[in-house]
Amino acid sequence: MSTPLTIALDAMGGDHAPEIVVEGASLARERFPNLRFLLFGDEAQLRPLLAKHPKLLEHSEIRHTDQVVTNDMKPAMALRNARNSSMRLAINAVHGGEAEGIVSAGNTGALMVLSTVVLKTLPGVDRAAIAGYLPSVRGDVVMLDLGANLDCDANNLVQFAIMGDVFAKTVLGLPEPAVGLLNVGEEDQKGHEYVREAAAILRESDFSLKFHGFVEGNDVLEGKVDVAVIDGFTGNVALKSAEGVVKFYSTLLKEAFQSSLLARFGYLFARSALRKVRERVDPRQYNGATMLGLNGVVVKSHGGTDALGFANAIGVAADMGSFGYNAKIIAEFERFETDRVPQTKTPTPA
């Protein structure tokens, strides 16, 4: 952790940029003192913000640009017309080798498309996937794809499984994560054909990952697996539904504790215990969806996050950079290509 690690920041992306970007970077440096930042954005706004954080200022460099990818900009438009945007220039810095990774709280679709086009996928990786992590009874769970690929085939899911496995080992520090495929039941004959085919490949091949089999939606939160793999359409809807429940439940609790004088007293007594619950389900703790499989580390922060959330997103990039996530993926996919040879000999059903 002592070699310096440079992260490019899209300082203008997100609802509360550039304030939370600068504050988030400052918080992140407290946890990762080896971090250096390249901040892409409006120098006139960034300069006074950085001035408040002298330590951060020492390890940061501002790269001025006026152009911004707005939230309502279509990805194709961002690709053609925003070549000098803070997001694009930050991605270019990763591509040019100046930075190990980029963190942005801006337009998700644009970040996905720009980083895929500029950085390209790692050797052997067909499609990049968005991974996030969420809490479970047993610890954190990595889930992917969360929306980069709406339609997937068996091979995509197998690749996502490998990328998620290495993420769990690298970022969550799990020695032997259990990897599951999300499905509508645990039995072999259940679900889409491509999901069953992916299971067959993962079961039969000599991967270095521990394949658990199928899991259902509720199993993820119960911590039956450490990595849950699914197509991007289902993953996106499921994750957002889960987030919706957390918000709903939290709202109900808040209302309940304000509903009577007795309940208010109760809250006062239980406050410190309840704070722990709130921290456990706090979306800021799980901020930082990652584009896995690209030639460079790309982390997307929630657009509406605060400085703490943004710092956590930087933390994900720092972990991936420090522990050589991409080098591990390249090595794993070389193994995978070798493993796959007997598999491709078997004709797949039409």
Q: Is 337 in the site for a copy of itself (CB under 8 A)?
A: no
> What tokens does 134 get?
């969420």
* Closer CB to a copy of itself, 258 or 346, in the complex: 258
Q: Is 277 in the site for a copy of itself (CB under 8 A)?
A: yes
DSSP state letters, 4-43: -EEEEEETT-STTTTHHHHHHHHHHHHH-TTEEEEEEE-H
Q: Is 135 in the site for a copy of itself (CB under 8 A)?
A: yes
Q: Is 348 in the site for a copy of itself (CB under 8 A)?
A: no
Residue given tokens 């580390």 in the structure block: 297
Among 51, 77, 117, 245, binds a copy of itself (CB under 8 A): 245
* Closer CB to a copy of itself, 44 or 262, in the complex: 262
> What tokens does 186 get?
């645990």
- Residue 344 class from Cβ within 10 Å (0-12 exposed, 13-18 middle, 19+ buried)? exposed
CA distance 215 to 234: 14
Q: Is 51 in the site for a copy of itself (CB under 8 A)?
A: no
What torsion do the CA atoms of 142, 147, 151, 155 make, to the nearest 10 degrees?
-30
Which one of 35-43, 89-97, 273-281, 317-325 is the stretch in contact with a copy of itself (CB under 8 A)? 273-281
CA distance 151 to 233: 7
Shortest CA distance to 101 belongs to which of 347, 322, 344? 322
* Closer CB to a copy of itself, 9 or 144, in the complex: 144
CA angle 188-194-196, nearest 5°? 10
CA distance 95 to 83: 14
How many other C-beta atoms are found inside a 10 Å radius of the C-beta of residue 204? Answer: 13
* Closer CB to a copy of itself, 123 or 244, in the complex: 244
* Closer CB to a copy of itself, 272 or 344, in the complex: 272
Q: Is 80 in the site for a copy of itself (CB under 8 A)?
A: no
Among 53, 124, 153, 267, binds a copy of itself (CB under 8 A): 267
State how beta strands 297-300 and 289-292 pair: antiparallel
* Closer CB to a copy of itself, 176 or 279, in the complex: 279
Pattern of binders to a copy of itself over 94-133, x per CB under 8 A? ----------------------------------------
Whether the CB-CB separation of 320 and 290 falls below 8 Å is answered with: yes
Pattern of binders to a copy of itself over 219-238, x per CB under 8 A? xxxx-------x-xxx-xxx
Among 2, 206, 276, 350, binds a copy of itself (CB under 8 A): 276
Whether the CB-CB separation of 129 and 144 falls below 8 Å is answered with: yes
Residue given tokens 């591509």 in the structure block: 95
Q: Is 260 in the site for a copy of itself (CB under 8 A)?
A: yes
Q: How far is the CB of 137 from a copy of itself (least distance, A)?
A: 6
The site for a copy of itself (CB under 8 A) is made up of 74, 135-137, 147, 150-151, 182-184, 189, 191-192, 216-222, 230, 232-234, 236-249, 251-253, 256-257, 259-260, 262-263, 265-274, 276-277, 280-281
